[in-house]
Amino acid sequence: APYTQDPQGVVLRTHDGGRRWTILPAATLPALKRVSFQSPARGWAVGLPSTMYPGGIFTTSDGGRSWLPVNGVRPAQWLCADFRDAHSGAVAGRDGAMAVATINGTIASRTPSIGLRAARDLQLVGETGGWLVGDGGLVMTTEDGGLSWQLPAAPIPTAVRQQFDLTAVAVVGSHVWAVGSPGTLALHSPDGGRHWAAHPTGQSLPLCDVHFVDAQVGYAVGSLGTILATRDGGQSWRRQRAGGGRAALLAIVADESSIPRELLAELAANEGYLSVVEVVGRRDIETPSLARAPADDRARAATALVGGSAARQAWDFPLRDKDLPLGALLVARGWDEAHDGRGLAALDETLVRKIRQWRPDVVLTEFGGDEKLAGAEHLIRRAVLQAVERAADSTAFPQQ
C-alpha cells in the first residue's frame, strides 16, 4: 500500500497454461514471495508477515479461493520455500531465518550463522534432500528435509563466493545449478556438490530464476527481459530474448528515500530510457519492522511506479536509522565491521561490479551532503566518482 507501506498480496489463477489469468480475492494477505500447489485444490503461500498474519505462511484447500494462516510460526520475512506435499516443506528468508513448515507450525532449522545474508531460493529433492542459495555466494544443502542446513561437500569457486549474490537454484538428479547477480556466470555441480564449475553466460545482467527440464536443457531469466537457454547442461548459454542489453541510466543511492523519482518519471516513463537503481545501504539492522514492507521491496515498487526497469539493494552495507545522522568516519567504521576492516574497499569493489553489470550510459548518484551529518551520502558520492573510472580499467578488479 503506497501510503501505509504495508505489504499486500495478490493471487492469480489460470486454467489454460497461463494464456489468461483471473485475480482471486486476497485483500487481507500480505505480500507473497512463493506459491506452491501440490494438486489443483491444495497449496501453500509464503511471504512477508503482517499485523493480521504475523506468521506469513498460508494453506488453501479450494484452489486459492480462500487461505488459512498456519499457526505457531515464528515471525520472519520469508523469501523462498518449497513443499514436498500438502503437509510439509521448507522455508527460508532474511536474517538467517530457516525452518521446516507444517500445517501445525514451523520447526526452526539448525544452521551455521550466515550473518547479514538472506536466503533467496531453495529446492527440495527426493525424500530428504535439498539445496538453498542466497546473498554473498551462499550455497547450502540439507539431507533431512530442512531440519538442518550445511555447506556443500566442496566449496564453491572463490570468484562466485566473493563476487555474486545467488538468487535462484535448480536441481535435476545429482546436478545443481545456481544463478544470480551479476549474471556473467552460471554455477554448476554435476555430482551433488562434490565438484563445482562456473560457466560464462555471455552477458552481465542479473539473472532472477533458472529452470532445467532435464540434465541438459535449461533456461534462465533476468533483468531487462533477458531469457537465456542451454542445451549442454549449462556449459554454454545463448540469448533467446532481451528487452535491452544495458541500462541507459544507473542511479546509485544511499537508501530508498534517495531514489530520484521525478527524474526517473521523466526519463524512464516519459522518454523510454531503460533506467535502474542500486541502493547501497540498509537501515533494517538495528530497527527491523516485520509489519512494514522491506526496503528492497519499497525500492522496487517506487522505481517501477515511475517507469524504472529494476531496483536492487545491497545486503552488506548497514546504516543507522535515518533519524540518527552519522558522519562519514562513523559510517565507514560500521562498514569496516561488516567487511573485516575493509569497508570502503568493499564499497569500491561493489560499485565497480554494479557499473560493469549494467553498463550504463549515465551514472547518477548522491549530491554529496555534509560529511559530518550525511556520511553515507558523502562516502557513496566519492566512491561512485572513483568507480566510474575504475570500471573502465581492465586491470581493476580483474576477477570480476
Concatenating the DSSP letter of every residue in 133-180 gives EETTTEEEEESSTTSB-B--SSPPPHHHHHH-EEEEEEEETTEEEEEE
Question: Quick check: 157 pLDDT over 60?
Answer: yes
Domains and CATH numbers, the chain: 11-241 (2.120.10.80), 249-391 (3.40.50.10320)
What CA–CA distance (Å, rounded) separates 383 from 366? 10
What CA–CA distance (Å, rounded) separates 97 from 236? 34
> What is the per-residue pLDDT for 72?
81
> What is the per-residue pLDDT for 6?
62
Grid cell listed for 366: 548522491
Burial per residue of 153-164, b for 16 or more beta-carbon CB atoms within 10 angstroms, e otherwise: eeebbeebeebb
What CA–CA distance (Å, rounded) separates 53 from 68? 10
Banded model confidence at residue 5, pLDDT cuts 50, 70, 90:
low
Once rounded to an integer, what is the mean pLDDT over residues 59-80?
91
Q: Which pLDDT tens digit goes with each residue over 200-227? A: 999 999 999 999 999 999 999 999 999 9
Helix (H, G, I), strand (E, B) or coil at 353: helix
Q: Which pLDDT tens digit goes with each residue over 101-113? A: 999 999 999 999 9
For residues 124 and 89, the answer to whether their CB atoms sit within 8 Å is: yes
Sheet with strand 218-222: strands edge to edge: 207-212, 218-222, 226-230, 238-241
Q: Which pLDDT tens digit goes with each residue over 298-333? A: 999 999 999 999 999 999 999 988 778 889 999 999
> What is the per-residue pLDDT for 285?
85
Q: Give me the chain's average pLDDT, please.
A: 93
Half-sphere exposure at residue 188, Cβ-oriented, CA atoms within 13 angstroms: 23
H/E/C letters for each residue in 2-64?
CCCCCCCCCEEECCCCCCCCEEECCCCCCCEEEEEECCCCCEEEEECCCCCCCCCEEEECCCC
Banded model confidence at residue 365, pLDDT cuts 50, 70, 90:
very high
Query: Sign of torsion, CA 110 114 118 120?
Result: negative
